[in-house]
Amino acid sequence: MHKPNRRDFIALGAATAAAAVGMSGPRADRAAAAEARNTSAGETAATGTLKDAKHIVILMQENRSFDHYFGLLKGVRGFSDRSTVELPGGHGVFDQPNGTGRHYPWQLSATQASGGADPERLAQCSGDLAHDWASQHAAWNHGKMDSWVSAKGLRSLGYLTREDIPFHYALADNWTVCDAYHASGMSATGPNRTYLWSGKISESSKDGGSESGLTWETYAEALEKATVSWKVYQSTDNYGDNGLAYFAKFTSAPAGSPLRSKGMSTVPRGTTEPGDVAADICDAIAADVRAGTLPQVSWIVPDQNYSEHPMATPANGAHFVHKVIDALNADPDVFNSTILFLNYDENDGYFDHVPPPAPAAGTADEFIGGTSIGLGFRVPMIAISPWSRGGYVNSQTSDHTSVLRFLEKWTAAIGKPATCPNISAWRRAVCGDLTSMFDFTSPVYGLPALPATATTVDMGQCAGLPNPAPVANKLPAQEAGTRKARALPYQPAADLAAFTTSGSSVQANVKMTNAGGAACHFSVYTNGTQRSGGPWQYTVAAGGSAGDFYNCGPGYGDGLYDLTVLGPNRFMRRFKGNATKAGKDLLVTASAVSVSGTVKLRFALTNRGASAVTFTIKANAYRTGGPWTYTVPAGKTVTDDFSPLTYGSGWYDHTVTASSDTTWSQRFVGHLENGLPSVSG
């Protein structure tokens, strides 16, 4: 969160306090909420569709990256990721530059004990880091991902473990966690919350701390027009995190108006635990649940102490989330008809290793002052509902506007469509609508057993504590094992199609294709020292293709090339060789094909040279056996179909080499989709 000093206490004013008397909102909202309750899971036959959800609740917490919280969680794209960016010098993305040395991510609770504080307390009180527009873009470094320590400091590499945040891990283990959910912008809290509530930002609101007086329509207003009941649950101290308060229509709304009473009013104070914001908010939610007046759409905004901002503790945040779940379960029928989205506004300054998809230069509505807005770095997202039970991972690319997209789809399903016109065409293409996180045909009702959280509240009173410091420098070992994975709409492919020459110029031509049902974002990196520049960004529509060339002649490696193509869900291709040698005449494609109704990976090995060549395919993971060799005559192509869905749950990782050129190799990593749930890689 940016400029925390302005958030020590937010007094919402006398008009807001007066409007708070009617916390349940206007009579129309009561009727809509009561209708939702009367048709909840326990009182009507399920349709097996999105329409079965009657309440959508959104709790956006503060300033944690995905790797910082879940880099060790088994079965997600964390510290054991095989499809990563290579940094200069051949270093992996986890081995970050640190001045003249290097440093891996380090465990905050294995820190140097100092100041009389135990390591766990220091881990809970890790402290916030730079996370403004400039430092976020500096760490990203146009996608090179190599400047975290210089932009944020060594603490940016700190991470937490299952022992540190057991409740968060339990949420992921029992419901569905997304490992490809990004902040909307590489900036601070304000801009990202503006995206959550409205779908876009402006130049004046790009950097946090200046989010006020915004004039475009929020999604709450769209819900109001569509007669969908809604409300913000907050106290007088909301840490400045209610994104509706950034908009002039809300701050100037008269007392008693829908925008004021539902968007700016506060919950009653001190009902069960005087002075405790978590209790006040959750008491209000539980009261509405029991009364049958929980709105169809709710946003929840805690104070700093429970927000998980690094100046507070994850333990406090866990307790608040637990209380929210319990409040929704005050009537089990309501909980069983509710979707709770738990997400985080931005990463603070904490490291994440996955390069965010970025728009190509000139993409409409995605640049401010010539700099791309986002996507931002990955942040945690967990969907808590009967339709997301089971400990799944979802790896569809998404961001905060995806929450609005979900609401668009859900309101249409219930016959009250509310749309958000502010979301850019590029985000609508690249980011999903979160429906792939759910299986509405197989709900699991009720609450699983969850770790207790009350005893850890305020375990890390942070005032006056020193910052944690690393004691070890090694690649973290992610928890072993996989987890169930949701089906995805992707089927990407990429190949080094040909070399072209013009005079002394030599160019490697890469083709990217997308046989899936949703757009794929690709980025192309140059590795090694042959040339600088990049990465280059491409968005390929469903069923479409894109191509580009990369110089590898004089001044660009003198024939040497080493290119990496990254795509969604750990997709990777790497092409290495020398354009002046025999490998220039070789072409390999690896693409999804349907054979007798089964999706397979077809390797096509083409020899455009004058002599026979023997290709060798080696399995780097997922498949045993091999290597497999294929002798291809001059001018011919040989194909072979591999079956990753049989031996690797759809996953594959193969390297292809050739007898004619020892400098030449190509690596193919990815996952075949067949429309069914799978297992993580």
Catalogue the E-assigned strands of 448-491.
Answer: 484-485
Q: At what angle do helices 314-328 and 166-174 cross, to 10 degrees?
A: 40
Could you report the per-residue pLDDT of 407-453, keeping only the tens digit for each?
999 999 999 999 999 999 999 999 999 999 999 999 999 999 999 99
Q: DSSP of 269-308, one letter per residue?
A: S-SSSTT-HHHHHHHHHHHHHHHT---SEEEEE--GGGS-
CB atoms within 10 A of CB 43: 10
Token representation of residue 314: 């994850």
pLDDT band of 21, cuts 50, 70, 90: very low
- What is the predicted pLDDT for the residue at 275? 83
Identify each DSSP E strand in 543-585 by its residue range. Answer: 545-551, 560-566, 572-578
Q: From CA 484, how far away is CA 390, in angstroms rounded?
A: 8
Give the H/E segment covering residue 668: strand 661-671
Neighbours of 294 (CB within 10 A): 32
User: Distance between CA 263 and CA 182 in Å, rounded?
Assistant: 25
| Domains annotated on the chain, with CATH | 4-456 (3.40.720.10), 487-679 (no CATH)
Contact 647, 601 (CB under 8 A): no
Give residue-wise pLDDT tens across range 364-410.
999 999 999 999 999 999 999 999 999 999 999 999 999 999 999 99
The alpha carbon of 339 is separated from its chain's Cα centroid by a whole number of angstroms, namely: 18
Residues facing 508 on adjacent strands: 499, 550
Structure tokens at 403: 């929450």
Compute the distance between CA of residue 62 and CA of residue 312 in angstroms, rounded to an integer.
Answer: 10
Residue 379: CB partners within 8 Å, gap ≥ 6?
Answer: 64, 65, 66, 181, 182, 183, 343, 344, 345, 346, 347
Cα torsion 248, 263, 130, 216: sign = negative
Note the pLDDT tens digit of each residue in 269-319: 987 888 899 999 999 999 999 999 999 999 999 999 999 999 899 999 999
- What is the rounded average pLDDT for all residues in the chain? 92
Residue 204: the pLDDT is 81
The predicted structure's pLDDT at residue 466: 80
| Structural tokens at position 620 | 């780097």
Q: Is the pLDDT score of 334 beyond 70?
A: yes
**Span 620-645, pLDDT tens digits:** 999 999 999 999 999 999 999 999 99
22 or 490, which is more confident: 490
Instruction: Please name the amino acid found at residue 314.
Output: P
In the three-class reduction of DSSP (H, G, I as helix; E, B as strand; rest coil), residue 13 is classed as coil
Residue 10 pLDDT grade (very low, low, confident, very high; cuts 50, 70, 90)? very low
Cα–Cα distance between 132 and 311 in angstroms, integer?
Answer: 16
Q: How far apart are CA 5 and CA 325, in angstroms?
A: 30
Tell me: pLDDT of 489 over 80. Answer: yes
Query: What amino acid occupies position 224?
Result: E
Report the pLDDT value the prediction gives residue 1, as an integer from 0 to 100. Answer: 42
- The answer on pLDDT for 9 being more than 50 is no
pTM for the predicted model, two decimal places: 0.93
DSSP 587-628: EEEEEEEEETTEEEEEEEEEE-SSS-EEEEEEEEES--S--E
Q: Please give the structure tokens belonging to residue 624.
A: 């045993």
